[in-house]
Amino acid sequence: AIDELVANINLDMVLMLHPLNDVVAFGAEHSSLERSVASAVKELGIRVSPDPLPELVLFIRSDQYPFVKKGIPSVFLFSGFDAGEIDGLEQFNQWMRNVYHTPADDMEQRFDFEAGADFARVNLLVVTGVANAEERPRWNAGDFFGERFGRN
């Protein structure tokens, strides 16, 4: 039942375009999930980067939002854009324009599978951190989503 869910960690659209140096944690700042994400990335030696596209308001435009509306703290983890020598955000934008949902969006594309494995590790650490915590995730005091939808 929905009342038994303590958190939603959305794993969607894993991009493996370059090595994973950072993640974007859409919505983490609204709840104690931010600490779970911070702990996971620290363990792997990567970092959390700020939302590079705040104007898109992705936290309320992706699959975690129905959970948010039921009062469940949520985070949407996304591969970061720190691609070292290349502009990762531009690489992502080109991929969105030229590959995403086209016939080229198949298993023949060049993937960085190690980045995919690293991203899976981040998610595993976040999920196990939440599952093993003594307290369930909570909305931050005074947070809009917690005030509007929260169950804490």
Tens-digit pLDDT profile for residues 78-130? 999 999 888 999 999 999 999 999 999 999 998 999 999 999 999 999 999 99
The number of beta carbons lying within 10 Å of the beta carbon of residue 41 is 21
* pLDDT score for 129: 97
Distances (CA, A) of 69 to 72, 91, 95, 117: 7, 33, 31, 31
Question: What integer best gives the mean pLDDT of the chain?
Answer: 94
CB-facing half-sphere around the CA of 46: CA atoms within 13 A: 26
User: Residue 8 contacts by C-beta under 8 Å, 6 or more apart in sequence?
Assistant: 64, 67, 68, 72, 73, 74, 75
Q: pLDDT at residue 150 above 80?
A: yes
If one counts the domains in the chain, the total is 1
What's the rounded Cα separation, in Å, for the pair 121 and 47? 13
Q: pLDDT at residue 3 above 90?
A: no
What's the rounded Cα separation, in Å, for the pair 37 and 69? 21
Token pair recorded at residue 25: 């944690």
Stretch 50-62: mean pLDDT = 93
Q: pLDDT at residue 152 above 70?
A: no
Higher-pLDDT residue of 66 and 13 is 66
* pLDDT score for 9: 97
The domain of 67 spans: 2-149
* pLDDT score for 20: 95
Local confidence band at 13 (pLDDT 50, 70, 90 cut-offs):
confident
Stretch 52-61: mean pLDDT = 93
